[in-house]
Amino acid sequence: MSENNLFLKAIHKKPVERTPVWIMRQAGRYLPEYRALREKYDFLTVCKTPELAAEVTLQPIKRFGFDAAILFSDILVVPEAMGQTLEFMPDHGPKLTPPIRSAEQVERLTTAEIVDKLQYVAQAIKVIRNELDENTALIGFSGSPFTLAAYMIEGKPTRHFKHIKGMMYREPQILEALLQKLTDGIVEYLQMQIRAGVQAVQVFDTWGSVLPLHLYEPFSARYMKEIAYKLQKNGVPVILFGMGGIDHLIQLGDSLAQALGVDWQTDMEQAIRLLHPEYALQGNLDPTVLYGSKETITREVERILKIFGKQNGHIFNLGHGIHPDVPLENVEHLVQEVRRISAELRKADD
Ligand code: CP3
């Protein structure tokens, strides 16, 4: 590990001179250089062309000097590699066809070709690692089994999740077969990313939050924990991120992950009390604070950093992805303030 890689030090709960910072969805539409590239190429072309994916991954690093880069791709390339057709509809979000609704369809999906079909991801990782300073960590990722299953079964973004939840209540064994297949495929996919050079992996469970608490463990958390368990032997830290507040988060508290992502609705003090220092914690500024004034951004950054004080094991991030229309200068201000305030807090006398 490079001595100056603050992200890796923090995830291993080692002392740092300031808190590392990166932002979920840091490569994307809020950046003019991203929008310019997207005028020439559609989203999936960028994902599937290693040089373009690498360029976009590095855009926010060049502009803001984040302490970690996250591979540019999408969670939905996995269902595509398993046999569904993936399209991104302008203004309507992703579409997967045909939606998975039966045991036969689950049976036909295959994880056998994930590593082959997603070689473009491994290639992108190699290009990025070549260009990235060793002080900046490279994070790989996957969607969680439940979140991927939600898109695969619903077929498109939805508010009520009636197809996946209907299946869970009507024919849970079909959903369980899909979740297990996804878990096996995700482990292989993340191992491929690790072999290609990522230094940490994050599992995004955006939709586990639509499960009632007593069903979060059996239908989402347990599969995320299986992924963390199976990735242990690679020696690469795992971050589990979900939405749903502290009650959902503590369900991940018996995992072998190194870090937990704290969503913006969760009280960081409570998260620390219940999960730290066993886990490094990542988060959790409300993404809409970036629509506020500079003073508000400073105040909110300071509030979160002060909860940790001098404790090790904090990675600063938003509590969910950045919105595409936030002012760039506010992002710049956020990064500056995390650096300034966290360094001052560490230097201060007790
Ligand atoms: O964080 C990063 O910068 C890395 C890249 C990344 C993207 N998507 C790029 C992207 C990551 C880690 C994701 C994860 C992802 N994708 C999640 C889980 C995390 C989360 O934020 O909730 C989910 C649910 C998806 C599925 C997805 N991809 C949706 C619903 C959409 C459309 C909505 C939207 O924001 O446009 C996407 C498209 C997408 N993925 C874009 C980007 C930059 C926008 C594509 C474009 O129009 O250029």
**pLDDT band (50, 70, 90) for residue 92:** confident
**pLDDT band (50, 70, 90) for residue 3:** confident
Active site annotation includes 346: no
Task: Please tell me the distance between residue 51's alpha carbon and the centre of ligand 1 in angstroms.
Answer: 19
Residue nearest to atom 2 of ligand 1 (CA): 25
For the chain, give the percent of residues with pLDDT over 90.
97
Q: CA of 132: how far to CAs of 127, 129, 198, 234, in Å?
A: 9, 5, 11, 22
- What residues does 142 pair with on adjacent strands? 203
The answer to whether residues 149 and 175 touch, using CB atoms and an 8 Å cutoff, is: yes
> Omega before 5 cis (within 30°)?
no
**pLDDT band (50, 70, 90) for residue 2:** low
Pocket test for ligand 1, best of 33, 52, 74, 91 (most atoms within 8 A of CB): 74
Per DSSP, 27 falls in state: S
Residue linked to tokens 């991120």:
241
The answer to whether residues 277 and 313 touch, using CB atoms and an 8 Å cutoff, is: yes
In this structure, the residues whose C-beta lies within 6 A of any atom of ligand 1 are 24-29, 38, 43, 70, 72-76, 93-94, 141, 143, 157, 204, 206, 321
Across all residues in the chain, what is the average pLDDT? 97
Report residue 206 as tokens: 């955006």
Torsion, CA 255, CA 257, CA 262, CA 263, rounded to 10:
-80
Q: What is the pLDDT of residue 349?
A: 77
The answer to whether residues 217 and 183 touch, using CB atoms and an 8 Å cutoff, is: no
Helix axes 50-64, 32-40, angle to 10 degrees: 160
Three-state DSSP class for residue 271 = helix
pLDDT in tens, 36-74: 999 999 999 999 999 999 999 999 999 999 999 999 999
Phi, then psi, of 201 in degrees rounded to 5? -130, 145
pLDDT at 162 over 70: yes
pLDDT in tens, 275-318: 999 999 999 999 999 999 999 999 999 999 999 999 999 999 99
Report residue 26 as tokens: 């840091």
pLDDT in tens, 180-222: 999 999 999 999 999 999 999 999 999 999 999 999 999 999 9
Report residue 131 as tokens: 């260009």
Q: What is the pLDDT of residue 348?
A: 86
Report residue 180 as tokens: 């297990």
Report residue 33 as tokens: 């250089």
- What residues does 68 pair with on adjacent strands? 137
Q: How far is CA 25 from the centre of its chain?
A: 8
Distance CA 318, CA 262 (A): 9
Residue nearest to atom 39 of ligand 1 (CA): 74
Report residue 116 as tokens: 């082959």
pLDDT at 1 over 90: no
Active-site residue identified among 25, 129, 222, 340: 25
**pLDDT band (50, 70, 90) for residue 350:** low
Could you tell me what percentage of the chain is helix, strand and coil, using 3-state DSSP and rounding each to the nearest 5?
55, 15, 35
Active site annotation includes 299: no
Distance CA 189, CA 70 (A): 16
Active site annotation includes 216: no
**pLDDT band (50, 70, 90) for residue 124:** very high
Three-state DSSP class for residue 343 = helix
Active-site residue identified among 74, 129, 222, 286: 74
Helix (H) or strand (E) holding 315: strand 314-318
Residues 6+ apart with CB under 8 A from 311: 272, 276, 277
Helix axes 222-231, 172-196, angle to 10 degrees: 30
Neighbours of 44 (CB within 10 A): 17
Helix axes 294-308, 268-275, angle to 10 degrees: 20
Active-site residue identified among 30, 151, 189, 216: 151
pLDDT at 91 over 90: no
